[in-house]
Structure 1
Amino acid sequence: MCGIAGWIDLSRPTEWKEADLERMTRTLVRRGPDDEGLWADEHVGLGHRRLAVLDVRRGVQPMIAGSAEQPHAVLCYSGEVYNFRELRSELAARGHVFRTHGDTEVVLNAYLEWGESFVERLTGMFAFALWDPRARRLLLVRDRLGIKPLYYARTGDAVLFASEPKAVLAHPEFTARLDHQGLADLLGLVKTPGVTPFRDLYEVPPGHVLTVDGNGSRLTRYWALPTIPHEDDIVDTVAHVRELLFDIVRGQLITDVPLCTLLSGGLDSSALTAIATDVLGKAGEGPVRSFSVDFVGSADHFRASEFRPERDNPYALQVVDHLGTAHRTIELADEALTEDGNRDAVLGAHDLPLTFGDVDTSLYLLFSAIREQSTVALSGESADEVFGGYNWFHDPRVVGTADFPWLST
């Protein structure tokens, strides 16, 4: 998934040491286990931890446009732009020459071609820092829906930034102090956009750019979800949703490393696995590698609850039989879920004391096992929110209130 970290201070040549930048970047090793890169000049430091997905050999970061002696722009990037091939073709037609085959260099050249408006052309999930030494301007950019995290803190005239709070906290100029509003959000299981439990530490809001230059810093919104009447009939609606899902999955299957799907047997993961099977099959690739999770002894000791009324795995195996995926069920033992080292790893990755019983620990163990065979996993995150999968979305007492039922108790 990659991680970024760094700072900017235009008021004076920074006296911060490269060791500080390295310390910040090293906290993100779980996000980027494959490589580390550092770049700095007298006013800016950029650190990167890489999970190599596209152009594994040449896509190292921070990436420079121009020469090392006279850079036009420097990019420290996390995420993936799914329309990078289309943008690359358009930029090549405009005279841009590419040295790599990944999306990072496409983002760099898009900025050089279209300036600050380039972000409106990017489709994907991303968070990045782009330094323009000629304009003496740093852009901190977050994707439209905030899939990729990006935090920042002001310390005097300087701005620190990172993919996770722990990287900002690793810098000696920042002091961790609790914020009352952020703490209330944490305990109430809600989220105020832009706010964190730490005072003076903020998130770049989804669909925004934080610009830092000689005039200070300012947030600019480049995208907002429009609200328009839905006038399509059921047939057109189904066709449109199907087209969108195929387009989304097709874009996320582009990778230079082993890919898989997470298959629980529910509607969302089953649909995505089926679409991936169709797309890869038509391209002469496959079968799709799929993974599900189960627990030792669950068939004998499972107890139904409102949260989990049935076991997942029997449904997942039915989908496997239907689609013919290369499937593996990963069984987790109780002692692994309660082992102190695994719990410590989960809490350390969270930054915050927010976890839901053994759910996060089981995900950690599942992903650790998947990593032995695949680097990229396609899943159905947010499907319940988008398509109304939670039980309370269909509870008349909840639906009839004035509040939107994202979360109900």
Structure 2
Amino acid sequence: MCGLVGYAGFAGRVPQDTEDTSLKEMTETLACRGPDASAVWAEGAAGLGHTRLAVVDLAGGRQPMILARSGRTALAVAFTGEVYNHARLRSELTALGHRFTTRSDSEVVLHAIDAWGEGAPARLDGMFAYAAWEPGPRRLTLVRDRFGIKPLCYARIGDAVVFGSEPKAVLAHPAVTTRLDLDGLRELLLSAHPMIKTPGRSAFAGLHEVAPGTVVAVTPEGVRARRYWSLSPVEHHDDLPTTVARVRQLLAEAVTGQLAADVPVSVLLSGGLDSSAIGALARPAAGTLHTLSVDLGNRASDRDAMGRDPDGPYAELMVRHLGSSHRRVRLDAGVLADPDRRAWVGRLRDGLTLGDFDTSLLQLYRAVRENFPVTLAGDGADELFGGYRWFTPQAAAAESFPWDSVLDRASLTRLLDPALATALDLPAHRPELHRAACTEIEHLPGTTPAEAALRRDSYLNLTRFLPCLLDRADRLSMGVGLEVRVPFLDHHLVEYVFNTPWDMKTFDGREKSLLRAAVTDLLPGPVLTRRKSPYPMVRDPAYRTALTTQVNRLLTDAGPATDLLNTAAVRSLLLEPTGRDRFPREGLELVLDLDQWLRTHRPTLQL
């Protein structure tokens, strides 16, 4: 996987210190993303840093990579991620006269940029981000994969640009300041509650993300952003049996292709439809299939307030069905509520967390990394195939983000200082974000209103909701040096399913009918027919006790968040009645997370 950092000046040197010390300090912030090697390169007004998680061509593939002509640097590249079609691209580039010295996909990216320039990313299949510097024209190119699986952000400092895989790397440069304004606070809050990601924005003033599927070119003339890929409407001509077969083929190709690595690979197995499908498709090519699941100590007879079943029995059924070598990672409430672990999660994410959802996922990833540098996961399947319970005609007809009806956390704003809540005006801001997102969506002529509404909701889930989950998965997995691959986001599969009519996706009246039909011969009946069950939450009363104690301590000690909070509302939150599964966990977690974020980044407040 890896992490990258760098700077480029377009009118002399970057402001303040641009010597190797700054580049090394930026690179060191991403050590967890690349535990196997790190290196920096600097020449003139530009520098690149890289930390490496070696997955393909362990002996080769070291970065930054340099392409020289006549003894001078023509192109310097730092790349993160995986390109799954690198062998085919290598053949194409070899036919064009390019010569390779390694087996790595990184070197393929280097030559692809040299051969095709800004046309290179459209030829890459995979998850990736890269920075390319061309000294001749003084051109910096920043690129992110189609879905933003791999992160990349940048800041303008006068006539220079500082960039990195994560905000912490960019903020480590002495010329970059940490500021929080109203727009940034809105982004910080909404990306966690209720999970709306605005492409290109970050919580830090002046710090921008490269939007998914986008090329950002920086030259002495300025900054230019161009989309090289987007979800576009295409007429679907296949009948249902052909569609089912095509989905099976595309998913099988994605899973098989993403098993390729020079290190051990595992599969995360919850016992749900998505992960079970990946496990079943991986088994023939995997040799010994290694699977892992998380156990939060919930009893097999337990159901939470949403009627969700624990994963354990279904995961065990799939393990027997697949004959996999399986490990169940056991966690308890004390681990998940530990403030040091919460702080660790917050530092990794550079933002607010999802409470025990995040701490448990980090612990799962940590356990996976003990034996496997790479794992496959089912992220993206629900957004693509319509697995969430808000995929309904009623939700589609509403002029709001479809998950608002289920994840409505607007009441959390009552925990903020009243004057600040008024200035933020989140009730008005969210509809603005919704309208802006909807302007991006295209429809084919003759599309019915009902189909258009459901297509719109699919688009919103893939471009506004899913990025929050992908960011979570990337930060937490790379925090322990683990590469998580997501076969459901193979763009060939996504393009095909996105353009499949909704009545095919739900042809039997259930969620994810199309996916279920595509793998019906691979899974045991109880797993195949299992009701959608999201990632589990801890239901031990000790978790609430721990959160309450920590919030009380925060109020007593007057932590940095208290200046932004309505402390009376927070105290009333502590007194709300409790049940076995339901308590104001999101509110308690928000208070703790906001305080931790302010302690970590110490931003200048411009509210």
Counterpart residue number, 2:220: 214
Note the C-alpha offset of 1:303: 4.4
| 1:181-220 alignment runs, 5 A limit | 181-188=183-190, 189=193, 190-220=196-226
Query: Alignment partner for residue 355 of structure 1, among 334, 353, 356?
Result: 353
- Paired residue type of 1:109: H
Q: Distance in 1 between matches of 2:141 and 2:239?
A: 42
Aligned twin of 2:367:
369
Structure 2 counterpart of 1:344: 343
- For residue 390 of structure 1, report the CA deviation from its aligned partner: 1.2
Following superposition, the deviation at residue 72 of structure 1 comes to: 2.3
State the alpha-carbon separation in 1 of the partners of residues 64 and 340 from structure 2.
32
What CA deviation, in whole Å up to 9, does each residue of 1:184-208 have, x standing for no partner?
Answer: 1332332221111111111111111
Q: Which residue of 1 aligns with 2:327?
A: 328
Render the CA deviation track for 1:156-202: whole Å, top value 9, x for unaligned: 00111111111111111111111322321332332221111111111
Classify 1:350/1:301 alpha carbon distance in 2 versus 1 (closer, same or farther; 3 Å): farther
1:108 corresponds to which residue? 110
1:176 aligns with 2:182: no
Percent of residue pairs bearing the same amino acid type:
49
* Distance in 2 separating the partners of 1:198 and 1:178: 6
The CA RMSD over aligned residues, in Å, is: 1.8
Q: Secondary structure of 2:354's match?
A: coil
1:301/1:30 Cα in 2 relative to 1: closer, same or farther (>3 Å)?
farther
Aligned to 2:23: 21
Aligned position for 1:5: 5
Provide the rounded CA distance (Å) in 1 between the counterparts of 2:301 and 2:183. 42
Partner of 1:264: 270
- Could you say what secondary structure the match of 2:50 adopts? strand
Which residue in 2 is equivalent to 1:135?
A: 137
Query: What's the offset of the Cα at 1:100?
Result: 0.7
Pick the structure with greater CA Rg: 2
CA drift at 1:123 = 1.2
Distance 1:236 1:160, change over 3 A: same
1:128-171 deviation line (CA, Å, top 9, x unaligned): 10112233211101111111111111010011111111111111
Richer in helix (by share): 2
Q: In the alignment, what sits opposite 1:55? A: 57
One-letter amino acid matched to 2:366: S
Give the 3-state SS of the residue equivalent to 1:299 in structure 2.
Answer: coil
Distance (whole Å) between structure 2 residues aligned to residue 406 and residue 240 of structure 1: 29
Aligned to 1:58, the other structure's residue is in SS state: coil
2:449 aligns with none
Q: Distance in 1 between matches of 2:174 and 2:313?
A: 52
Work out whether residues 82 and 251 of structure 1, in 8 Å CA contact, stay in contact via their aligned partners in 2.
yes
* Aligned counterparts, 1:218-367, within 5 A: 218-278=224-284, 280=285, 285-296=286-297, 298-299=298-299, 302-306=302-306, 309-352=308-351, 354-367=352-365
1:385 to 383, 386, 392: 383
1:398 aligns with 2:369: no
Separation (CA, whole Å) in 2 of partners of 1:371 and 1:11: 44
Aligned-partner Cα distance in 2 for 1:213–1:85? 32
Task: Tell me the TM-score normalised to structure 1 length.
Answer: 0.93
Total equivalences in the alignment: 400
Deviating more after overlay: 89-98 vs 60-69: 60-69
Matched residue, 2:89: 87
Q: Quote the Cα distance in structure 1 between the aligned partners of 2:182 and 2:238.
A: 45
Q: Give the residue type in structure 2 aligned to 1:358.
A: D
Separation in structure 1 between the aligned mates of residue 374 and residue 69 of structure 2, nearest angstrom? 32
Q: 1:222 & 1:197 partners in 2: Cα distance?
A: 25
Alignment of 1:151-170 (within 5 A): 151-170=153-172
Q: Which SS does the other structure have where 1:197 is aligned? A: coil
Task: Write the distance in 2 (CA, Å) between the matches of 1:105 and 1:342.
Answer: 37
- Indicate if the aligned counterparts of 2:118 and 2:215 stay in contact, CA closer than 8 A: no
Deviations 1:286-310 (A, max 9, x none): 12111011024x227844231x611
Contact kept? 1:180, 1:197, Cα under 8 Å: no
Letter in 2 for 1:21: L
Decide whether the 8 Å contact of 2:300 with 2:312 is kept in 1: no
Whether the 8 Å contact between 2:300 and 2:310 is mirrored in structure 1 is no
SS at match of 1:218: strand
Aligned-partner Cα distance in 1 for 2:60–2:13: 31
**Separation (CA, whole Å) in 2 of partners of 1:303 and 1:218:** 51
CA contact (8 A) 1:179 1:196 kept: no
For 2:303 and 2:273, the matched residues in 1 are separated by 22
Tell me the secondary structure at the aligned position of residue 205 of structure 2: coil
The code of the aligned residue for 1:389 comes to G
- In 2, distance between residues paired with 1:61 and 1:53? 13
C-alpha distance in 1, partners of 2:366/2:71?
A: 41
Separation in 1, partners of 2:367, 2:301:
24
Letter in 1 for 2:26: M
Q: Does the 8 Å contact 2:35/2:53 carry over to 1? A: yes
Distance 1:216 1:402 in 2: 37
The separation in 1 between residues aligned to 2:113 and 2:53, in whole angstroms, is: 23
Map of 2:467 onto structure 1: none
Contact (CA 8 Å) 2:255, 2:281: kept in 1 or not? yes
Contact 2:38–2:51 (CA under 8 A) maintained in structure 1: yes
Determine the C-alpha separation between the residues in 2 that align with 1:255 and 1:200: 38
1:191-240: CA deviations, max 9, x gaps?
22111111111111111111112322211221121112333221111111
CA contact (8 A) 2:294 2:331 kept: yes
Give ranges in structure 2 of 5+ residues lacking alignment: 407-607
